[in-house]
A and B are shown apart, each in its own frame.
Chain A
Amino acid sequence: MEINVLVVDDSSVMRAMISKTMGLSGLPLGKIYQAANGQEGLEVLSGHWIDLIIVDINMPVMNGEEMIDRVRANPELKDISIIIISTEGSDARIDRLRRKGAAFIHKPFTPETIRDTVKDIMNLGGSDAGTD
């Protein structure tokens, strides 16, 4: 199975960092799409098959939380895997986002954190932890 990924962040440099990290992760990737805010992200989702959304929270036009709410409310999209990558530091807000069925990665991140979180959330090769 190849994973099609949508990376949503208002920073083009951050989108490039995340895309590059995904590319180097050794994960079975299909296409990587990019969007600069939640609204653009929803437009990509309406036209392309996406298996995994990696989304920032703080964005103009439509923030990541609203985008997640729209995805979860859409019968055709509601089961897509979601990882939030954000600077959010409030425990209460992170809990609230996790309850929407999203994994959370704090910025700044390491490549390993992204790889391991993707493996975990996509149920990919789960048993090799700690062997190298």
Chain B
Amino acid sequence: MRERIDHILSRVTEAIFEKLAFMFSFPEEGFEPEIEPSAAEPPVVTEVFFEGPFSGRLVMSLSPRLLPELAGNMLGADDNEATTPDQRYDALKELINVVCGNLLPEIAGKQAIFNVGTPKIIEPEGAAPAAEETLLGDTALLVEDEKCELRLYGIGGIPDRFFQTDSGADASDAF
């Protein structure tokens, strides 16, 4: 069941933006994550791999316009524009690290043990699934009016128990 994972992805990402960087976001209704990067303004894309009860990759694509505020807020800088490119990429990598670390126990439970790799900044094309990857969930948020998309890919066998809804509710009634 995709709906449960999509919902967890939105909820965790919103919470981490707020707590780590004091940035506010909400799910963007009716806007589907795009797999094709827009040539006009390519997103900045970061990824992190993980291994555990299920293994895979979390990918975050966001507007480069979010980076000065992300880094500036995390650093408590007086002037967001004064942050360096290195600081901005480092802030983004730590953001996806914290999202991934908080996301996996929400999906698989607090007993599950995952090893999370080192986040990397990648080319926009890298947001699309590799041949061995299956899309487990995705979401699109507006963060401070800018686009931010997340995709969770699984690699290899995925135990069914992580992908069932708790309530058995009809997936179509989710927002």
Q: Which residues of A contact B (CB under 8 A)?
A: 10-14, 16-17, 20, 58-60, 86-93, 107-108, 110
Which residue of chain B is the closest to A89 with respect to CB atoms?
B105
Given A58-B97, A89-B102: A20 in contact with B76 (beta carbons within 8 A): yes
- CB contacts (< 8 Å) of B114 on chain A: these are 89-90
Which residue of chain B is the closest to A12 with respect to CB atoms?
B90
Counting CB contacts under 8 A, is B161 at the interface? no
B14 to chain A, nearest CB (A): 12
| A13 & B113 in contact (Cβ 8 Å cutoff) | no
CA distance A86 to B100 in the complex (A): 12
| A90 & B113 in contact (Cβ 8 Å cutoff) | yes
Given A11-B97, A108-B98: A58 in contact with B16 (beta carbons within 8 A): no
Q: Which residues of B contact A (CB under 8 A)?
A: 16, 19-20, 71, 74-76, 86-87, 90-91, 93-94, 97-98, 100-102, 104-105, 110-114, 116, 118
CB contact between A90 and one of B19, B71, B75, B112 (< 8 Å): that residue: B112
CA distance A92 to B114 in the complex (A): 11
B114 to chain A, nearest CB (A): 7
CB contact between A88 and one of B71, B86, B101 (< 8 Å): that residue: B101
B1 to chain A, nearest CB (A): 21
| B116 & A87 in contact (Cβ 8 Å cutoff) | yes
- CB contacts (< 8 Å) of B87 on chain A: these are 12-13
| B110 & A91 in contact (Cβ 8 Å cutoff) | yes
| B97 & A92 in contact (Cβ 8 Å cutoff) | no
Interface centre among A13, A14, A58 (most CB of B within 10 A): A13
